Amino acid sequence: MPFIPHTDADIRTMLGAIGAADLDALFEEIPDALRAPGLPGIPPALTEMEVGRLMTEFAARDGRPLNFIGAGAYEHHIPSAVWAIVTRGEFYSAYTPYQAEASQGTLQLLYEYQSMMASLTGMDVSNASLYDGASALAEASLMAVRANRKSKSQRILLPAALNPTYRDVTQAICGNQNLAFETVPYDAKSGQTVVAALDAYKGQDITAVALQHPNFFGTLEDVDAVTDWAHANGALVIAVVNPTSLAVLKPPGEWGTKGADIACGDGQPLGVPLSSGGPYFGFMAAKSEHVRQMPGRIIGRTVDLDGKPGFTLTLQAREQHIRRSKATSNICTNQGLLVTAATIYLSLLGPQGLAQVAATSMQRTQQLVDALTRIPGVRLAFDHPRFHEAVLLLDRPVAGVLEALARRGIVGGYDISARYPSLGHALLVCATETRTVGDIDIYAQALAETMRNPAAAA
Amino acid sequence: MTAMHEKLIFEHSAPGRSADAQYPQVPVEAPIPAALQRGRPPLLPEVSELQAVRHFTRLSQLNFSIDTHFYPLGSCTMKYNPKACNQYAMLPELLGRHPLAPESTGQGLLQILFELQEMLKEVTGMRGVSLTPMAGAQGEFAGVAMIRAYHRARNDLARTEIICPDAAHGTNPATATMCGCTVREIPTLANGDIDIEALKGVVGPKTAGIMLTNPSTIGVFERNILEVARIVHEAGGLLYYDGANLNAILGKVRPGDMGFDVIHMNLHKTFSTPHGGGGPGSGAVGVSERLLPFMPVPLVGKQGDRYRWLDEKDLPQTIGRLSNFMGNTGVLLRAYIYMRMLGREGMQRVSEFATLNANYLMARLREAGFELAYPERRASHEFIVTLRKEAREWETNAMDFAKRLLDFGFHAPTTYFPLLVPECLLIEPTETESKEELDAFVDAMIAIRKEAETEPAKLKGAPWTLPVRRLDDVRAAKQLDLAWKEESRV
């Protein structure tokens, strides 16, 4: 029996100790009318060998195309050591560290993670993770409502240049609590959020302003101006950031005169593979004055009965298992194993390595933009400094071009035309340090040939 | 456990050291406008690759885990995580795939996810399944949000109350709040069943729904479930099934057949994906006919022999998106592999042997003189021992027993939950443990009770053999130390 160790003799002895005639007798409290007649729709069991073969065939069908999409998930090199350690059973198969004495490995690692994230974001404290970047923004919005006691409006300003799925998720999660989200436009030339547009809200009760930097288009924002505007108008600032970029960009804690109040984002770039969409992890850091409004688990360093330093879950009075309907969030299980990966990744890269990854990715994206915009029918949408993504405008619908590229083994970017109709045929592209100059040449040549072919205009 | 103490990674750090093989070595300047440049570099460790590997390997050795210890943690289903599930979920094509790549380059992945949806429909008896929620609590959120959307679509706007039994997981009432609902709590009878009369007293035109776990968190099957369903439905409410305890009934009884309208499944419990020291989980949701239009997107659909994402255009009444892409895909792959290896027979064996192990362990502990919270009931996959006698006579409470069990090499059961049973241990052995392991646990419990009677200090001071002894939680919360700072270097 797969994964069940019982021998026939064990079963007899155990049923005898219970005083039950057979295994079926153990379910006697379930009304007969409810008993399921088996599971005919489930296929018969496979051995490990057979399931291995099956999975390998599924995977082979999808192959390994050359990827130039970012849009919230980024392909970076992951040191071999990261997942070799993450998949050790002691990390992989452990539970949430409720029994602190038996979980010091996980707890210390999470404390180290919190330390790294607090420094990377320039904030005082970090929690131990949320589900992903999009849901982290939703939690940050709810947190801002709790933290900004002077504001009663529950109105939050979101830039149009925010990742549109982040907006969708935030609306889906916060909508039932009647938060209202309003949109701040971006400048058609630079792709930056228009700071002057904020003045339409001057004198109104605004709970928070969120700012993604670099924004969905890859464009760098005027973080100081937005932050100072928000604080001058009684609003908190929620920074949505890419952790890799923070090796080279001024961290949210230093935005404007007073710094952002909450920083959040997706931790996937830190050692987590693209994995077809997840699991990734969301991070959240904040100023210490807001720590009691944070959602999710937080680890603290303390001492044991002998005065020896140790680590434990702390501030649990915020959480659902203690506070129930008055908790800061319903989150329970988070994304611990991915945080394990990120902590090992950040330790291996260090400040210098992470900066090199960030700078090299910027360089590669610039090389990609240069190569692709030389092709007739392709031009750059925004002329402002960017990080490692850019929007290209094509002279024909993007979808057909992407399908043509896919047939050549290239995933050529993300079609954002439907989300941003005013841009026209808009393609968001990204190159990280994992894309070589040779890769960029392959893409440029394939795109040039595709654009020369009028059939791809369909 | 070989390591007993490991310094912080920052204390291994030395300026200028790094794992040079791990990043591009050609120096590149980032052309960033001066006002946006970072000044001080972030406080990240500067260590060699070996130093990092050794540090994190040593940290791992400070943990209990399923791979190293019996983990009878009630309500958490800490069963063995088969290694094949990890290995074949981490094939390079699956790991390397960008979630926004064209559907034409992801037909293998989409077929896996489609088949997983179908299998989960079969085991739950529901009409539709969405895989996007990223943990049980997000599945709960999706469920209650769908219930609200259903009432709203019928213009039945007064329905904002969610009924929860007092034994419910804390996530249930917390979820109700996140969905803008208020909570009505109902008591549990002394025999472990829901108080039907109390239920009748709270249902009405404000009832949005009821959130139930069955078997309940006290480890017994709710025998009156059809009556509960009738009462709630007649009052115009819907039934939410918290799938935390699905392991107990897999293949034996299906939530859809019990009358539930929506269910979340903890794939990291029943379908054996790893807990990872606190996630990732997966909280896939299943729904009845009437909630199909409201499911969170994306779903996987099939047209002819092609698979494609279904989104807001296909489900215009959807409650929306809960994650940036489509949930914890890697967890879904592991659950799929596990289900294929179990097959239809193996899935039924899961509940049979989980229940056999729980009832055997319960019988042995009762025989050894431990008091059961619900002695007249059959255990489901878990059961409750109450140590109120031991606490009264020897001042050794459930926490003391739990901590002393760690010294004996067993992870502690869930303590002090559910809240209505004093000094309780909620014990869930799961089907993957052998009789020998269960017997050893009973021996440890007997030995600890002997100590409680003769040398209670051994319990009060426990654990003695772990990397740390009991921690000062009050100090942790009062003198907050949540991040290592440069100035804390000694």
DSSP letters of A275-326? GGG-S--EEEEE-GGGGGG--S--EEEEEBTTS-EEEEE--GGGSHHHHGGG
Judged by a CB distance cut-off of 8 A, whether residue B81 touches chain A is yes
Task: Please answer whether residues A382 and A217 qualify as being in contact, where contact means their C-beta atoms are separated by less than 8 angstroms.
Answer: yes
| Phi, psi values for residue A357, rounded to 5° | -65, -45
- Please choose, from the candidates B401, B394, B415, B404, the residue with its C-alpha nearest in 3D space to the C-alpha of residue B469: B404
Per-chain mean pLDDT for chain A: 96
CA–CA separation, B404 and B424 (whole Å): 15
Judged by a CB distance cut-off of 8 A, whether residue A329 touches chain B is yes
Query: How confident is the model at residue B162, as a pLDDT?
Result: 97
- Please choose, from the candidates B91, B185, B169, the residue with its C-alpha nearest in 3D space to the C-alpha of residue B135: B169
Give CA torsion, residues B289, B295, B298, B302, to 10 deg: 0
Q: In DSSP terms, which residues pair with B178 in a beta bridge?
A: none
Cα-Cα-Cα-Cα dihedral sign, residues B416, B417, B420, B424:
negative
CA–CA separation, A96 and B412 (whole Å): 13
Of A104, A124, A357, nearest to B467 by CB-CB distance is: A104
Instruction: Please tell me the distance in Å from B380's CA to the nearest CA on chain A.
Output: 8
Of A60, A220, A278, nearest to B36 by CB-CB distance is: A220
How far is C-alpha B261 from the chain's CA centre? 21
Q: In DSSP terms, which residues pair with A125 in a beta bridge?
A: A286
Query: How confident is the model at residue A455, as a pLDDT?
Result: 63
HSE-up of residue B150 (Cα within 13 Å, Cβ side): 25
Tokens 């600890």 belong to residue: B448
Judged by a CB distance cut-off of 8 A, whether residue A321 touches chain B is yes
Task: Please answer whether residues B183 and B134 qualify as being in contact, where contact means their C-beta atoms are separated by less than 8 angstroms.
Answer: no
DSSP-based three-state secondary structure for B48: coil
For residue B487, the surrounding DSSP H or E stretch is none
Task: Please answer whether residues A334 and A320 qualify as being in contact, where contact means their C-beta atoms are separated by less than 8 angstroms.
Answer: no
Cis omega before residue B418 (within 30°)? yes
Structure tokens at A277: 């969409």
Structure tokens at B444: 């440890």
Any residues with CB less than 8 A from the CB of A9 and at least 6 apart, and which?
none
Judged by a CB distance cut-off of 8 A, whether residue B340 touches chain A is yes
- Please choose, from the candidates B363, B350, B349, B359, the residue with its C-alpha nearest in 3D space to the C-alpha of residue B380: B359
Tokens 């800490």 belong to residue: B78
Query: How confident is the model at residue A257, as a pLDDT?
Result: 98
What are the chain B neighbours of A90 within 8 Å (beta carbons)?
60-61, 63, 65, 67-68
CA–CA separation, B292 and B286 (whole Å): 9
**Helical H segments across A308-397, by residue range:** 320-323, 336-373
**Helical H segments across B368-480, by residue range:** 388-394, 398-407, 435-454, 456-460, 473-478
pLDDT digits (tens, 9 = 90+) for A323-382: 888 888 888 989 999 999 999 999 999 999 999 999 999 999 999 999 999 999 999 999
**Residue A233 — pLDDT band, cuts 50, 70, 90?**
very high
Cβ burial, residue B292 (10 Å; 0-12/13-18/19+):
middle
**Interface touch B44/A116, C-beta < 8 Å:** yes
pLDDT above 90 as % of chain A: 95
| DSSP secondary structure string for all residues of B23-38 | S--S-------GGGB-
**Interface touch A111/B482, C-beta < 8 Å:** yes
DSSP conformational letter for A246: G
Query: How confident is the model at residue B490, as a pLDDT?
Result: 43
How far is C-alpha A341 from the chain's CA centre? 14
Q: Enter the pTM of the model.
A: 0.97
- Please choose, from the candidates B271, B115, B287, the residue with its C-alpha nearest in 3D space to the C-alpha of residue A41: B115
Mean pLDDT of A261-281: 98
Any residues with CB less than 8 A from the CB of A156 and at least 6 apart, and which?
A141, A144, A179, A180, A181, A182, A206, A207, A208, A209, A210, A238
**Interface touch A355/B41, C-beta < 8 Å:** yes
A218: left (phi over 0), alpha (psi -120 to 50) or beta: left
pLDDT exceeds 60 at position A272: yes
HSE-up of residue A372 (Cα within 13 Å, Cβ side): 30
Task: Please answer whether residues B404 and B394 qualify as being in contact, where contact means their C-beta atoms are separated by less than 8 angstroms.
Answer: no
| Phi, psi values for residue A375, rounded to 5° | -80, 130
For residue B210, the surrounding DSSP H or E stretch is strand B207-212
Task: Please answer whether residues A237 and A260 qualify as being in contact, where contact means their C-beta atoms are separated by less than 8 angstroms.
Answer: yes
What are the chain B neighbours of A126 within 8 Å (beta carbons)?
482-483
Structure tokens at B460: 């009060």
Residue A20's identity, in one-letter code, is: A
Q: In DSSP terms, which residues pair with B210 in a beta bridge?
A: B163, B239
Query: How confident is the model at residue A456, as a pLDDT?
Result: 55
Selected residue of A224, A333, A386, A416 to mutate for chain B interface (largest B Cβ count, 10 A)? A333
**Residue A317 — pLDDT band, cuts 50, 70, 90?**
confident
What are the chain A neighbours of B123 within 8 Å (beta carbons)?
39, 42
Task: Please answer whether residues A396 and A320 qualify as being in contact, where contact means their C-beta atoms are separated by less than 8 angstroms.
Answer: no
CA–CA separation, A255 and A261 (whole Å): 10
- Please choose, from the candidates A298, A99, A109, A88, the residue with its C-alpha nearest in 3D space to the C-alpha of residue B466: A99
Residue B131's identity, in one-letter code, is: L
Structure tokens at A279: 């699991």
Query: How confident is the model at residue B478, as a pLDDT?
Result: 95
Of B18, B21, B96, nearest to A352 by CB-CB distance is: B18
Query: How confident is the model at residue A322, as a pLDDT?
Result: 83
Task: Please answer whether residues A126 and A285 qualify as being in contact, where contact means their C-beta atoms are separated by less than 8 angstroms.
Answer: yes
Query: How confident is the model at residue B38, as a pLDDT?
Result: 98
Judged by a CB distance cut-off of 8 A, whether residue B71 touches chain A is yes
Judged by a CB distance cut-off of 8 A, whether residue B409 touches chain A is no
Which residues 212-271 on chain B approach chain A with CB closer than 8 angstroms? 220-221, 223, 225-226, 249, 251-254, 257-258, 268
Interhelix angle A8-18/B329-367, rounded to 10 degrees, is 50
Cβ burial, residue B338 (10 Å; 0-12/13-18/19+):
buried
B125: left (phi over 0), alpha (psi -120 to 50) or beta: left
Give how far Cα A426 sits from Cα of A255, A382, A398, B218, B407, Å. Answer: 30, 11, 7, 56, 62
Which residues 415-474 on chain B approach chain A with CB closer than 8 angstroms? 417, 431-435, 461, 463, 466-473
What are the chain B neighbours of A334 within 8 Å (beta carbons)?
135, 278-280
**Interface touch B33/A220, C-beta < 8 Å:** yes
**Interface touch B341/A332, C-beta < 8 Å:** no
- Residue in chain A nearest B67 by alpha carbon: A89
- Please choose, from the candidates A256, A263, A160, the residue with its C-alpha nearest in 3D space to the C-alpha of residue A217: A160
Which residues 385-404 on chain B approach chain A with CB closer than 8 angstroms? 402-403
DSSP-based three-state secondary structure for B439: helix
CA–CA separation, B84 and B86 (whole Å): 5
**pLDDT tens, chain B, 490 aa long:** 455 899 999 999 999 999 999 999 999 999 999 999 999 999 999 999 999 999 999 999 999 999 999 999 999 999 999 999 999 999 999 999 999 999 999 999 999 999 999 999 999 999 999 999 999 999 999 999 999 999 999 999 999 999 999 988 889 999 999 999 999 999 999 999 999 999 999 999 999 999 999 999 899 999 999 999 999 999 999 999 999 999 999 999 999 999 999 999 999 999 999 999 999 999 999 999 999 999 999 999 999 999 999 999 999 999 999 999 999 999 999 999 999 999 999 999 999 999 999 999 999 999 999 999 999 999 999 999 999 999 999 999 999 999 999 999 999 999 999 988 999 999 999 999 999 999 999 999 999 999 999 999 999 999 999 999 999 999 999 999 999 987 765 4
pLDDT exceeds 60 at position A198: yes
What are the chain B neighbours of A65 within 8 Å (beta carbons)?
101, 105
pLDDT above 70 as % of chain A: 99
Judged by a CB distance cut-off of 8 A, whether residue B376 touches chain A is no
Task: Please answer whether residues B210 and B162 qualify as being in contact, where contact means their C-beta atoms are separated by less than 8 angstroms.
Answer: yes
CA–CA separation, A130 and A111 (whole Å): 15
- Please choose, from the candidates B185, B16, B122, B74, the residue with its C-alpha nearest in 3D space to the C-alpha of residue B428: B74
- Please choose, from the candidates A41, A168, A378, the residue with its C-alpha nearest in 3D space to the C-alpha of residue B321: A168
